[in-house]
Amino acid sequence: EKGGYPHFMLKEIFEQPRTLRDCIRGRVSADGKHVVLSGVLDNKERFLDAHRILIVACGTSWHAALIGKHLFEDMCRIPVEVEYASEFRYRNPVVSDKDVLIAMSQSGETADTLAALELAKEQGAFVFGICNVIGSSIPRATDSGCYIHVGPEIGVASTKAFTGQVTVLAMMALMLGRMKGTIADEAFERVTRDLHRLPELLQEVLELDTRVKDLSKIFTYAKNFLYLGRGYNYPAALEGALKLKEISYIHAEGCPAAEMKHGTIALIDDDMPTVVIAPRDKIYDKTVSNIQQIKARNGRIIALVTRGDEVAAKIADYVIEIPEVCECLSPILTSVPLQLLAYYVAVNKGRNVDQPRNLAKSVTVE
């Protein structure tokens, strides 16, 4: 059942080239010209009329949702609000029939996410699910939806579901952007072609396994970790920190790289490793400045950079090189070495990786 791997989590990390292939199968054309999700196509009007998209989720699914905000705003020019399901449902949120609410949940059973979607539905919103477990409660309660099709996820730490969720959000944003005429053909085709290449790109990322395993040994005894990223990779930083916390029990904090200097920078010393996600994107130069600021305070830096990088790589203490991909899909690649880092640190510490203390796979308590 673990397919020869010592833990489900490692098996699921390594499955990602295949799970993403399954996720895009029949939905993305190889020539980069078409993306079709039937749940979106069948409800085209509701999406095109929407004044706003609300995404409700918890934990890792909430991190994927934050990337969704970037994708929809970039490609479809629709305002998006991302909410913790537990906060949304206990507020008195303003919802109308001009809203589309997306409930994002791997298990499809998270009590708060289900309650949030019921609340929005009562107030007239069109509710759409992005889930993994087929026939679970959330897909049954929604008007329509789209499965991520990554297969059963057993490890409590979500890995392949996260990359599947971001992939589905990217496909939705491309499709809606095209329908609305808010994305240029050239951009559409570039992203779609990269979506199609994701399985092979992930295979390359997984070749970093030994490198990350070696790095993990250096940092096993750190008491705190900081994860920084900007733009599309800010949620990937949050996700990297959550992975480390939940399975290794090391305190970790994810932070937008620029926000660091408004407080978190006070924590930096030679005891605290900082993981900086710094792919070559629009804000690369700014991220490099953040790396310099950490270095100036004797911080130890692990930088995730685009292959061939010479600037950030020279300042950082340790470097992990990611293949080149369009910016909006980069968190799908950068999140994987961070899954591996959390995994190996937890294994080095002898933790119960697949069933960390105090956690359950589906959170059905409120």
**Catalytic positions, written as ranges:** 361
CA distance 232 to 246: 23
Residue number, 158 or 330, with CB nearest to ligand M6R: 158
Rounded to 10°, the helix 59-76/160-180 angle is 20
Q: Is 224 exposed, middle or buried (0-12, 13-18, 19+ CB in 10 A)?
A: middle
Rounded to 10°, the helix 330-348/185-206 angle is 20
CA distance 252 to 232: 20
**Closest-CA residue to 48 (of 147, 141, 182):** 182
Handedness of CA 149, 153, 156, 158 (dihedral sign): negative
Residue 359 CB, shortest distance to ligand M6R, in Å, is 6
Give the CB-nearest residue to ligand M6R: 59
Residue number, 162 or 188, with CB nearest to ligand M6R: 162
Residues in the chain: 366
Residue number, 218 or 363, with CB nearest to ligand M6R: 363
Residue number, 42 or 366, with CB nearest to ligand M6R: 366
Residue 324 tokens, joined: 């080149």
**Closest-CA residue to 45 (of 143, 148, 134, 184):** 143
Residue 104 CB, shortest distance to ligand M6R, in Å, is 7
Position 221, amino acid: Y
Residue 247 CB, shortest distance to ligand M6R, in Å, is 8
**Closest-CA residue to 257 (of 197, 307, 301, 220):** 301
**Closest-CA residue to 80 (of 66, 93, 91, 94):** 66
Q: Which residues bind ligand M6R (CB under 6 A)?
A: 58-61, 105-107, 110, 113, 156-158, 242, 246, 359, 362-363
Q: Are 139 and 123 in contact (CB under 8 A)?
A: no
